[in-house]
């Protein structure tokens, strides 16, 4: 248990995973400094959820930074490329999908590291997990270990303070079902989390993209209905 003077930077997307991570870091006693990004993503509704949850869950601070990832492109989330729908678990496992955003977690973690250094924090939390993870390379333990080393070599804090950065990924080895159950135990309100890659104008989830399917499978396995809003079949987008 940390005393509440110990600051942590929490990468908060507004999704199910990172909101659970915020609840876990709070439970551990950290003073939570949440960091979100406006990066040209389709699902900007997730930022509204992140802002709402940071306040509701008692974050000490919430910083939203702009990134020009849409100018780099190369992903269905930041470019005019269709989001794949209704893929099976086997299809999701077989390759890295077009929703992969090149460099995203490295760029997010780099900013978290910079902000941590400025506020005097050595603890960074990220909601990545190696199970039910859509096949993204920047969601794996070896990537995270390499980034942690980079942070400790490339910052004044890492080099001179006698303390080292730790990148916490408390969901790394949990299934979506286990994440949901642990979040429910901590009182996370999943109705105000957003996972869908391709929501409609009202911010309602499509139910068919990889993120929706992993989320719905997790709620089904946990035996809990997903309280987030979904589009009805046949709705116009």
**Which residues are near a second copy by CB under 8 A?**
63, 65-69, 71-74, 96, 100-107, 110-111, 113-115, 117-118, 137-138, 140, 142-143, 146-147, 149-151, 153-160
Strands 31-38, 123-125: pairing is unpaired
Least distance from C-beta 138 to a second copy, angstroms? 4
125 CB burial (10 A radius; 0-12, 13-18, 19+): buried
User: Any residues with CB less than 8 A from the CB of 69 and at least 6 apart, and which?
Assistant: 39, 40, 41, 75, 78, 101, 103, 104, 107
Between 113 and 216, name the residue whose CB sits nearer to a second copy.
113
Least distance from C-beta 173 to a second copy, angstroms? 18
Least distance from C-beta 191 to a second copy, angstroms? 30
Chain CA centroid to CA 194, Å: 10
Between 24 and 144, name the residue whose CB sits nearer to a second copy.
144
Between 22 and 139, name the residue whose CB sits nearer to a second copy.
139
- Residue 35's SS3 state is strand
123 with 166: CB under 8 angstroms?
yes
Between 89 and 94, name the residue whose CB sits nearer to a second copy.
94
Least distance from C-beta 82 to a second copy, angstroms? 18
């Amino acid at each position: 248990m940390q005393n509440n003077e110990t600051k942590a930077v929490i990468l908060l997307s507004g999704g199910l995973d990172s909101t659970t991570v915020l609840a876990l870091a709070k439970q551990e006693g950290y003073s939570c400094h949440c960091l979100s990004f406006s990066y040209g993503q389709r699902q900007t509704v997730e930022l509204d959820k992140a802002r709402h949850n940071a306040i509701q869950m008692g974050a000490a601070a919430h910083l939203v930074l702009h990134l020009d990832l849409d100018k780099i492109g190369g992903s269905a989330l930041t470019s005019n490329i269709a989001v794949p729908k209704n893929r099976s678990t086997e299809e999701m496992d077989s390759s890295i999908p077009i929703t992969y955003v090149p460099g995203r977690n490295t760029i997010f973690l780099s900013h978290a590291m910079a902000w941590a250094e400025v506020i005097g924090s050595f603890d960074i939390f990220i909601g990545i997990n190696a199970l039910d993870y859509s096949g993204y390379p920047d969601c794996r333990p070896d990537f995270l270990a390499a980034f942690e080393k980079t942070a400790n070599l490339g910052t004044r804090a890492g080099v001179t303070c006698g303390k080292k950065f730790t990148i916490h990924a408390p969901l790394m080895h949990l299934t979506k079902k286990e994440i949901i159950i642990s979040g429910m135990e901590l009182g996370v309100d999943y109705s105000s989390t957003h996972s869908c890659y391709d929501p409609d104008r009202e911010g309602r989830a499509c139910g068919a993209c990889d993120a929706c399917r992993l989320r719905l499978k997790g709620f089904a396995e946990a035996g809990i209905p997903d309280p987030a809003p979904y589009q009805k079949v046949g709705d116009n987008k």
